[in-house]
Amino acid sequence: MRKSIAIPIVFVLMMWIINVIQFLSNIDFGSLGIQPRHIDSLIGIITAPLIHGNWKHLISNSLPLLILGSILFVSYPKTARKVWILIYILTGILVWLFARGNSYHIGASGIIYGLASFLFFSGFFRMDIKAIAIASGVAIFYGGMVWGILPLEKGVSWESHLLGGIVGLGLSFLFRNQYRDTLIVEDESVQEKQKNFDAFLEQRSERRVNE
């Protein structure tokens, strides 16, 4: 669990280190963001989530990323790494393909929306107590994020929010049965043990009759 939680922690630390370097060097790293449909901006799919426009932008993204990322890795350890990587890459690709092309899109908010969406909709698709409880918590504490998918605030990449949310929704459906196979195997194992025990009792009963 500690190794898993380390992933969102290290990612946030990288965000802060890069922003400190940007501040101290007085160099704008915004060109490392995603400029949609520009071939030379494909690198932004990897670098854009690490770049932030100012301290307020960085701080507002850091805590949700830590919280939601930790919940993901603790609650769904079998799929967490796949989900994290896919949200990261697919959101960037979709932003590059479909977002406004006259600006650079930077920041980790697309990943945050992807994580929140995955945790929320997993409650609907899995329908187990743990998943529903997590979904309820996300809805209570981060339900207001839904307004971020609308173009209400100038200078905000609402496309990243919307596309990240769509990716999270899709992944929650894709991985909805990830744990059911394990449960089925466990059930079959229990059934097999029960059959063996019943056979043992029958054998003992037959021996007693013969005696």
- Give the angle 18-67-167 at the CA atoms, nearest 5°: 80
The pLDDT, as a whole number, for residue 79 is 94
50 closest CA partner among 74, 34, 27:
34
Burial 36-65 (b: 16+ CB within 10 A, else e): beeeebeebbebbbbbbbeeebbebbbebb
The pLDDT, as a whole number, for residue 189 is 54
The pLDDT, as a whole number, for residue 18 is 96
Locus of tokens 């043992």: 200
Average pLDDT, 10 consecutive residues per value, the chain (211 residues): 81 96 93 95 97 94 96 93 97 96 93 98 91 94 91 90 98 84 46 55 50 47
The single-letter code of the amino acid at 62 is: S
The pLDDT, as a whole number, for residue 177 is 86
Strand blocks (E) in the chain? none
The pLDDT, as a whole number, for residue 123 is 93
Helix (H), strand (E) counts: the chain = 8, 0
Locus of tokens 């194992």: 189
Q: How many CB atoms lie within 10 A of CB 162?
A: 21
Beta bridge partners of 34: 105
Q: Is 178 helix (H, G, I), strand (E, B) or coil?
A: coil
Tell me the three-class secondary structure of 94-160, residue by residue.
HHHHHCCCCCCECCCHHHHHHHHHHHHHHHHHHCCHHHHHHHHHHHHHHHHHHHHHCCCCCCCCHHH
d(CA 1, CA 4): 5
